[in-house]
Structure 1
């Protein structure tokens, strides 16, 4: 399989974590967003939406990280990224959606480039914009995991789940935008537990072939 990825892309990062947790190796194909390589005809033929990540399975090209991760969960169910019960699955999916639907889309490159080019936002304004949405989402995430008295070391239980797959790239992004993370001690404890695992370490932006 070929993974079309950019080292600093949060959606690519979450997919790399999921692939590593599942023990699935891929050929890494870098798509450099810094020079808008995703807008070229070569990548448009891979993904008409011109966004990373994309996963070429050899039979089809899968796009959109939530869909790809769901595909991985169905095709490679062990180790599971979702708990067994319907109630617990809903809880984990909600945590993931808080990041994937409510934080990340407002802070992705397309939005930030629009703020810069069409609205004249400088980097201080960009950081403030990102911090406001990250903080609102992390406040809620922190409250939910703090209230779960049976939680364990991760966002849910004692093994990584879909929630952690989404959370860790957003923590990385928060640091890039100079957000003070000490205000969320439970999230920081979850990050520590995740980053002790090779699957998360190898997925980190700085470990990718196109980093630097």
Structure 2
């Protein structure tokens, strides 16, 4: 009977928990301040959001390996190829504010570029107004293909206002800015000419 009650309790806890606890390097942070305590564990992500009525935090990993979806690669290289995220926020009656940070590690041996993403989130008007401003920054001195001084910037900001009207559930404004720049290097080949005497 004890095992049965424990199993039923576990099923109800898992069924009642929300599963949106992992935030990537985009405007999914829009929902960080309204989510309750939760744990998310899947093959491609693991993370949690915890807090009381005023202060909350989040930490987790989300795989960025495409179709296979594993966090650790195992064939030939044992790299962590995931977005690691963490954040802290304050929620009150009138407003909520939070900051987060994502670090996306890409296979450095393959010449890929890592990304750093600080995030600012803000809620107001009983969580009807939600703002998320992530700023992804990438930089690398040499891309190993004749291109140097790479700099990338991406800002997929979003503002949502939930109206409470069935016909127009929410009004969304998205601001997307991106920049990629690099210098095209010249390959210089030196040849030694051996002169025989």
| Higher-helix-fraction structure | 1
Give the number of the structure whose residues are more often strand, by fraction.
2
Task: Provide TM-score, normalisation by structure 2.
Answer: 0.28
Structure with greater Cα Rg: 2
Q: TM-score, normalised by structure 1?
A: 0.27
Higher RCO, Cα 8 Å, sep 6+: 1
